[in-house]
A and B are shown apart, each in its own frame.
Chain A
Amino acid sequence: MSKGIKIYGIYSDGPVFGKTGNFYQIVHLFSSRGRIEHETLLKLYQHHFSKDSSEILFDTKDDLNKFLYYLIQEEDVSAVCILSVEEFNQCSEGIFTKPELLKSIEDSAFCIENMDFRPKRGIFDKMFS
């Protein structure tokens, strides 16, 4: 992915149908390139959490954050910014246009930076720096 792209996500926290206990779950993940496909996430989840599962569930918020960090390294983006379902609903209030909604999500989300991310420099960057 190119310079400066961030992934945004919404997660839920609560009981999951057919399972005992509370889990963290990713509801939506998207960037300016579109949605992140479930297959991509599942592959990464199975690789790092060694679980033979078709559902992506996390016992703790730390596990969720860890997974998202693996994701931004894999996708080579600058950061992932997440917010809970409740936070998303709150930040949607009083918003009536597309740009307002995007800005509100950007302002309300908690971001995890990709420390290994080095923006790729284009030919013009190289010429003028």
Chain B
Amino acid sequence: MARDLGKEIVFFLPVTPAPFLPNGGLPHLLSRTNSLDKNGLVYNILTPDGNINRLYTFFDPRVYQAFSRFIHALNNYFAEENIANDLWGIECGYMEDGNFLSFLEDRSKVYDQAFGRFIQAKGSGNDEFDHDSLVKNPDDEACLSEEFSETIKDLYSNTLSEGLSENFEGIQQICFLGSAPSDTFERIYDLENLKKYGREVFHNVTQKIIPSSSLIPFKYKTGVFGKEIEDMVTSGFLDMKLEPESMLDGSSITFTPLSFFELYQSRHVVRDKGFSWNELGLVNYLQNKYGFTYFLNNIDQFEWDEDLIGKSRIHIFHGRDMDKGLYNSMLKIFMSGGRVILDRSDMKDEFLKKMESFFLENSLKVEKINYLIHVHNILLGEGRLLVIDGKSLMEHDDKKKVDFWGVMISTFDITHLSFFLPEGIESVWKTRNSSTNELNFEEVRRVSFYNPTSYKKKVRLPIVRSFALLKVMDENNVKVKNWSQEVEIEMMPEGSISLDFGVYS
């Protein structure tokens, strides 16, 4: 039936408790121990019709055994019915302080027992195993706990990838808006914090996490919040996540999120001891100056790809994440004409020495700049490598950090329309290839503005060289004045609008 309607079916199979299903997706007989959040509270997930879904632990060995049997049975069913559609494992979670937290995370007694066995197994190779030698302080315990949760997540993911190898495409993280424990206590009073959810959608997209509004009642999705979901997720981003090959096709004229900056960092929040790009002030600077035109990538999923070099993006790495493969890939980007920023703090001596020798062997001139901190700038053809020391930058206050990034990023030639955004207004940029009747332009960029506040706001958009306004569309509760050098948009509460620009050089 789906094929008749021109739709492609994609299967999602949760590898964590699923907040949109009763008992988190577990059959009644396996729903024995409540899963507890980091504060020790049971999860009470509110559904759009006012029911409560409670989540149960996935650390119970009986749950894993049943999951394994289910995968086996599903594989047989797919084979019998000749079902060849793509299947993705989904890790369900919520956002807290800009970080994705998985519903697999648990602090129940069952978890504690399993964690105890994990520590014992870790020490079993050691003849003189002593619990205290492995867990010297609470910090060690937190690191081991994070490692244990990841091991269990991998166990479920690997069971799925091996059991349904013909259909399996990978794992996607899905953030369920309104499912955070703190959201429950607002939603209990029928309060939906749409501004917060809207902000989470933006953070999700920059972290390549799929946001889902399936827990939010439909009546809240008809206004500007629904428009944000439609523009940011439904059109373009979902294709990018579920059909990445289609996006690589040069002839595709589907809008996808615009990205100038590819930031890489570890998602091991506990084990990664260094400063994040957020703490270093870069995320804050990019949000204010360039909107959400960056991706905050998981360094563990970094893979070398020819496509990394193109589209004039800047790749930004932490030196502490370097291993042989990543170091070589970083140099490959630089040598192929790509642009790289490297924070050398906590980088292993091995790689620091290798980098020095690389500069010497290739007779590369290292330009030394002193702006708040020591910065090294290295050029090789079109390639550029900017080396900074994040630890020294942390000695400065937030304003100086933002100033620092302003100066550094301005030295990269980025073609962009910058504007001042009034408080509460959200904006998002997307891009697509130019079509056959737009050959004067190298690409077409779409900027959308949303006003989720209850105040009237004004946005002024200066039109600079290299940009030509093509069309204004999807005007809801807005008034637009188009001058020769500027577009002025008056946005009423719940207002939204999109503008397309042709970009030429």
**Contact A89 B182, CB 8 Å, known A96-B51, A97-B52, A99-B50:** no
Which residue on A lies nearest to B36, using beta carbons? A89
Q: Are B182 and A98 in contact (CB under 8 A)?
A: no
Q: Are A88 and B52 in contact (CB under 8 A)?
A: no
Q: Which residues in chain B, 439-492, are within 8 Å of chain A measured between CB atoms? A: none
Tell me the bound Cα distance from A34 to B44 in angstroms: 17
**Contact A28 B52, CB 8 Å, known A17-B138, A17-B142:** no
Residues of chain A at interface, number, CB under 8 A: 25
Of B125-133, B165-173, B188-196, B278-286, the one with at least 4 CB within 8 A of chain A = B188-196
Q: Are A88 and B188 in contact (CB under 8 A)?
A: no
Tell me the bound Cα distance from A18 to B142 in angstroms: 11
Min C-beta distance of A101 to chain B, whole Å: 6
- Residues of B near A28 (CB, < 8 A) are 181-182, 185
Q: Are B185 and A96 in contact (CB under 8 A)?
A: no
**Contact A101 B44, CB 8 Å, known A28-B185, A34-B186, A35-B182:** yes
Tell me the bound Cα distance from A121 to B188 in angstroms: 27
B contacts with A: majority SS: mixed
Q: Which residues in chain A, 1-46, are within 8 Å of chain B measured between CB atoms? A: 8, 10, 12, 17-18, 27-28, 30-35
Q: Are B188 and A89 in contact (CB under 8 A)?
A: no
B309 near A: Cβ within 8 Å?
A: no
Q: Are A98 and B186 in contact (CB under 8 A)?
A: no
Min C-beta distance of B495 to chain A, whole Å: 23
Candidates A27, A33, A102; contact of B39 at CB < 8 Å: A27
Candidates B39, B42, B52; contact of A12 at CB < 8 Å: B39
Q: Which residues in chain A, 21-78, are within 8 Å of chain B measured between CB atoms? A: 27-28, 30-35
Candidates A17, A34, A88, A98; contact of B41 at CB < 8 Å: A88
Q: Are A32 and B189 in contact (CB under 8 A)?
A: yes
**Contact A95 B52, CB 8 Å, known A12-B39, A17-B142:** yes
List the 5 closest A-B pairs by CB distance, nearest first.
Answer: A30-B185, A98-B50, A85-B40, A27-B39, A32-B189
Residues of A within 8 A of B (CB): 8, 10, 12, 17-18, 27-28, 30-35, 85-86, 88-89, 92, 95-99, 101-102
Residues of B within 8 A of A (CB): 34, 36, 39-42, 44, 46, 50-52, 54, 138, 142, 181-182, 185-189, 191, 193
